[in-house]
């Protein structure tokens, strides 16, 4: 054991030398840092920042009309507030010295802008919805192809494109037209489909013509989604069928999968469009469906 210690005693001496070298290096580093990297005697020159002038305080008005018109004995009463009119019949052409040079109507209101010039101060530029119009007290409300509407003095004013005429306001009675068309289509559905038995139906030709003319009118009667079986499309599945819809009148129920019409498969949307094109004038239809996992055929005759 003593021979082993004597043989490798130089290792202990080497370790001591290394530790002493590390401490010596750190001491030298601190000395140099204190001598050359200390704080300077004089701080660098800093330019003082100019104070931003604050906005002047609003002057108090001595007008007593606001107090005179308010009921001081009613804590819940508030003064009347002028609201801009949005009735199309109340919109008047503006009398401000403004000229509408051009409009650009985008897909959404934030993407639209109008080029306007004020002929008095020659201020011009492109303005979007919500921007303040030069010379007006309000902001730009709507941008159309031939005119714009903006707020001014508590009401809506209209500025027409140079060389164009303002469109006449739409009569309110036209809003009732879609409801009338919907009622007429529903009446045709109720009277245009006759059930012969559980699998056979007769359809009036006039109903088919109305459906082809207005396919969106019956699209809301059910939810149609692509159906997939074993990773492959196999038709279209029906959900949320309304009891008064054309789907219910034709004998279809929730969960039915339409797979083919007159032998032509409905596997994709392109296939369905092809079948629709070929069978627009057909008088006999055989619709193959899957109902609760079992195949079933519904027959329709168009007269």
Judged against a pLDDT cut of 60, whether residue 199 lies above it is answered with yes
How far apart CA 61 and CA 64 sit, in angstroms, is: 8
Positions of CATH 2.30.30.830 in the chain: 88-160
Judged against a pLDDT cut of 80, whether residue 113 lies above it is answered with yes
How far apart CA 20 and CA 16 sit, in angstroms, is: 6
Q: What is the number of other CB atoms lying within 10 angstroms of the CB of residue 45?
A: 5
How far apart CA 112 and CA 99 sit, in angstroms, is: 17
- Within 13 Å of residue 12, how many CA atoms lie on the same side as its CB? 6
**Residue 29 vs residue 262, higher pLDDT:** 262
Report pLDDT for 172. Answer: 47
Report pLDDT for 225. Answer: 83
Positions of CATH 2.30.42.10 in the chain: 184-302
pTM for the full predicted model:
0.41
Percent of the chain with pLDDT over 70: 69
What is the per-residue pLDDT across 128-148, written as a single tens digit (0 to 9) for each? 898 988 888 889 999 988 899
How far apart CA 102 and CA 146 sit, in angstroms, is: 8
55-84 mean pLDDT: 54
CATH number assigned to the domain with residue range 184-302, chosen from the 4 options 2.30.42.10, 3.30.70.270, 3.30.2270.10, 3.10.105.10: 2.30.42.10
Report pLDDT for 149. Answer: 92
Tell whether domain 88-160 is in CATH 3.50.50.60: no
How far apart CA 63 and CA 44 sit, in angstroms, is: 56
Report pLDDT for 192. Answer: 83
What is the per-residue pLDDT across 278-297, written as a single tens digit (0 to 9) for each? 777 788 888 898 888 899 99
**Residue 80 vs residue 200, higher pLDDT:** 200
């Amino acid at each position: 054991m003593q021979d082993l210690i004597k043989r490798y005693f130089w290792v202990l001496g080497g370790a001591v030398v290394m530790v002493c070298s590390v401490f010596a290096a750190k001491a030298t580093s601190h000395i140099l840092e204190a001598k050359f990297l200390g704080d300077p005697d004089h701080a660098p020159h800093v330019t003082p920042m100019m104070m931003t002038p604050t906005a002047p305080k609003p002057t108090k008005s001595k007008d007593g009309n606001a107090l005179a018109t308010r009921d001081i004995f009613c804590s819940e009463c508030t003064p009347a507030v002028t609201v801009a009119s949005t009735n199309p019949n109340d919109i008047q052409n503006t009398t401000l010295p403004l000229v509408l040079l051009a409009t650009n109507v985008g897909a959404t209101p934030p993407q639209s802008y109008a080029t306007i010039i004020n002929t008095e101060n020659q201020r011009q530029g492109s303005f979007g919805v919500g921007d303040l119009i030069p010379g007006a007290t309000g902001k730009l409300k709507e941008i159309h192809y031939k005119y714009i509407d903006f707020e001014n003095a508590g009401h809506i004013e209209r500025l027409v494109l140079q060389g164009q005429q303002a469109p006449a306001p739409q009569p309110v009675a036209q809003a009732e037209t879609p409801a009338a068309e919907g009622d007429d289509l529903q009446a045709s559905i109720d009277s245009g489909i006759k059930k012969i038995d559980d699998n056979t139906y007769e359809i009036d030709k006039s109903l088919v013509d109305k459906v082809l003319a207005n396919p969106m009118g019956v699209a809301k009667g059910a939810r149609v989604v692509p159906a997939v079986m074993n990773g492959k499309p196999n038709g279209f599945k029906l959900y949320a069928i309304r009891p008064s819809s054309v789907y219910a009148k034709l004998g279809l129920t929730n969960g039915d999968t339409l797979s083919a019409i007159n032998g032509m498969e409905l596997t994709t949307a392109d296939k369905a469009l092809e079948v629709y094109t070929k069978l627009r004038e057909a008088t006999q239809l055989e619709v193959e469906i899957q109902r609760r996992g079992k195949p079933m055929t519904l027959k329709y005759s168009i007269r």
